Structure 1
Amino acid sequence: MTSRDEQMPVNIPQMLTQQFQSIISDDVEYLAMQLFEIDPYEESSSSKPNKKRKEINRDRKDADARLWNDYFAPTPVFDETFFRRRFRMRVSLFNRIVVGISEVGKSEHYKYFTQRYDAVGRKGLSPRQKCTSAIRQLAYGTPADLCDEYLRIGESTALECLHKFCRSVVEVYSAEYLRRPNQNDIHRLLEEHSVVHGFPGMLGSIDCMHWSWRNCPTAWRGQYTRGDHGHPTVMLEAVASHDLWIWHAFFGVAGSNNDINVLNQSPVFNQILEGNAPECNFTVNGNVYTKGYYLADGIYPEWATLVKSFTYPPENNLKMKLFKKRQESARKDVERAFGVLRARWGIIQGSARSSTLPVLGDIMHTCIILHNMIVEDEGAAITNWSREDHEPDLPSYSNGAPSQFQTHLERFRDLRSQEAHQALRSDLVQHIWANSD
């Protein structure tokens, strides 16, 4: 063996394998960098400094002063007419709402609607700015950042204003403006509907509407979509009187249901079933009745507290045809209330953008409360409510078994009595015919 052979490596295959793997590894890494457009000479992300959040000096103080001069100053730039059109209410009512939701102890979010200072000592947004941002979103149904240039409120803050405003309005004003009719309310409702529509014993009209839900979760779309709408909706059941006051609002039922399904879930007749409903006595065609009723369309069942029209009255029966005409005319009260509610609050006219039902419920109930407040403020309300000190709160509905189950079953049977419905409708037919001109 020569000296050259003695200097050669003993494990030649292992050496060649290591060199081959090194070449292949470098080529693969280079190709990967080209594929993902990675600069091999770029510094690693760990050595980069963190980007700071972009700060915008919105000058909130100047925006608040401009809002004050435009609408709230003794001599504003825009008078009451412009304010009523853009805020859907008068200045006095708006100021009352701002004071109400920012008063200590009335709402859980009263601190949010008081002007405070931030960490560096600058004045924060005023209650007027926050409430104006929420009202504009409700009235026009606009995106949250549309008023940023005028009110100087960012998108996330505007959404927070909307949610806290709706929650506060529900907490502060629902006891008064989403109340059930008390004894005084029922007396005035019976008197007004008897004079205007000619229906003694009428408490209002009942019907349902759908609110389109654009951001419905994908897993719920089948449950909230009905064939005649073709997109997810959430249903609202409401009772409205002649003055367009909404006395009952049951919201949140899936849009795939019909009006009967909603009625079976609704608490509209819970007071009657519990036996604590206010007295409602009236006389029709010489017969005495002890339960008020609501006018309803043809899909509703024949219950003692619902009065429907005749689908196809005989051509020669003029009494039934007159009753059908009067009933369908009076029943439009709730349809008009839905129309005014949608026209007044554009957020309901469009599609709901929130993806959670509690937020949608707060928005819907806030629109109804503000609607009733405007009806009262403009002097069109049939009743004016003032709680007396001796007036007790009505007990809430309980899902448990009643103490006297037999009595509950009797009330349930009387409420859904088809015979009572037909007898009441027959008496109303005779009454309307006798009092027609």
Structure 2
Amino acid sequence: MNKPLFLRIVHRLSTEVEYFQPTEDAAGRSGLSPLQKCTAAIRQLAYGGGADAIDEYVRLGETTARKCLHQFTAGIIHFFGDEYLRRPTQEDLQRLLHVGEQRGFPGMVGSIDCMHWEWKNCPTAWKGMYSRGTGKPTIVLEAVASYDLWIWHAFFGAPGTMNDLNILDRSPVFDDIINGIAPEVNFYVNGREYHLAYYLTDGIYPNWATFIQSIRLPQGPKNSLFAKNQEAVRKDVERAFGVLQARFVVVRNPSNLWDKSKIRNIMRACLILHNMIVQDERDSQTLEEFQDEDFTFAVKKTTKHGNRISRRKEVRDPHIHQQLKEDLIENIWDKFGDLQ
């Protein structure tokens, strides 16, 4: 995190959160500064150590450092969550669709996958619900990431016994589409028109119109080229998880907290800070740079007609999925086949 970005966060919290404002005791001595409190919190997130590991660096006790962490995460979520952990706007969708078409996947707006965060101090009564495989309790994070590692969707809190497939029954990833409030997306693949944007996934996800998986055993040059490109582009979400864990070691190490709500706040705050860093570091490519070009997609804000059942059925339609996959195979072969 760059220094100006961190100082902007410190300034926002110190002016709007009472806990981070400068104070004096009865003798007139200054209390802990906002910079000390925010530094204590960010070091716990970045290095993943205990609250007593920073006492010599920022001159804070263990209890105070832990309180700084929870106040910091709550402040980040409250003041920056709506901006940096939002649904894609029309302008965002326009940019994502443009990049997806350049990479050979018209209508693709990101890749989706799940990550497990180990919960070391999970209550004994809950361990059966949160443990599978190795027997270690975990909490699942479902995320959608784009080419620049921006995380557009994050659903955290499902027990570790759930996998990428059955977590979809809880996830709100398609709620906007089912409720009819999502922007309408129209695009063409291989001369055929489609109306639902999709995500790239691994093999465990179902054959829905909004998911495109790779081909497990590709036969022939067209299928092999499609599998190669799909698996390469789908790695965006894997890279996002890797960068998130590298920046904030607290989500890579087992969580030592007891309270699930505090664990959720830490994860959400790390996701928001991750997106803030992405926006601070990425190139200033604006929508106007490619608005004048001729693209085969359109985005507009609309309220879709029909009931929830029909929209849910459309999202899960396996026939649209199969037709879209076949058209994408042809599109990628037409676009990149000459390079083989």
| TM-score w.r.t. length of structure 2 | 0.92
Match for 1:91: what amino acid? K
Q: Distance in 2 between matches of 1:140 and 1:367?
A: 12
1:264 maps to amino acid: D
Tell me the residue number matched to 1:342: 245
Give the 5 Å matches for 1:196-207.
Answer: 197-207=103-113
1:225 matched to 2:225? The reply is: no
Q: CA deviation at 1:99?
A: 1.4
TM-score calculated relative to the size of structure 1? 0.72
| 1:33-432 correspondence runs (5 A) | 89-104=1-16, 110-195=17-102, 197-227=103-133, 229-314=134-219, 317-380=220-283, 407-432=307-332
- Pick closer, same or farther for the CA change 1:429–1:381 going to 2, 3 Å: farther
What is the one-letter code of the residue matched to 2:307? T
How much does 1:117 deviate? 1.3
Secondary structure of 2:144's counterpart equals: strand
Query: SS where residue 238 of structure 1 aligns?
Result: strand
Question: How many Å apart are 1:381 and its aligned residue?
Answer: 7.3
SS at match of 2:258: coil
Report if aligned partners of 1:189, 1:382 keep a CA contact under 8 Å in 2: no
Structure of greater Rg: 1
The answer to whether the Cα contact below 8 Å between 1:185 and 1:383 also exists between their aligned partners in 2 is: no
SS at match of 1:186: helix
Q: Which runs of 5+ in 2 are unaligned?
A: 288-301
Spell out structure 1 runs of 4+ moving beyond 3 A.
380-384
TM-fit CA distance, 1:204: 0.2
Letter paired with 1:434: D
Whole-angstrom distance in 2 between the partners of 1:413 and 1:198? 27
Check the 8 A contact 1:193/1:203 in 2, yes or no.
yes
8 Å contact from structure 2 (residues 148, 282) kept in 1? no
Aligned length: 323
- CA deviations 1:367-386 (Å, max 9, x no partner) are 111111011111247679xx
Give, in angstroms, the shift of residue 264 of structure 1: 1.5
Q: Using the alignment, how far apart are the partners of 1:133 and 1:174 within structure 2?
A: 21
Offset of residue 248 of structure 1: 0.4
Distance 2:6 2:244 in 1: 18
Tell me how far 1:162 sits from its aligned partner.
Answer: 0.2
Name the CA distance, whole Å, in 2 between partners of 1:382 and 1:413.
37
Q: 2:187 is aligned with what amino acid?
A: F
Percent of aligned positions with the same letter in both sequences? Answer: 53
- In the alignment, structure 1 segments of 5+ residues that lack a partner are 1-88, 105-109, 385-393, 396-403
Looking at secondary structure, tell me which structure has more strand per residue: 2
Distance 2:25 2:232 in 1: 57
Using CA pairs below 8 Å that are at least 6 residues apart, which structure has the higher relative contact order? Answer: 2
2:182 alignment partner AA: A
CA distance in 2, matches of 1:269, 1:327: 22
- Cα RMSD of the aligned pairs, angstroms, is 1.8
Report the CA distance between 1:357 and its aligned residue. Answer: 1.2
Counterpart-to-counterpart distance in 1, 2:75 and 2:42 = 13
Q: Counterpart of 2:142 in 1: which secondary structure?
A: strand
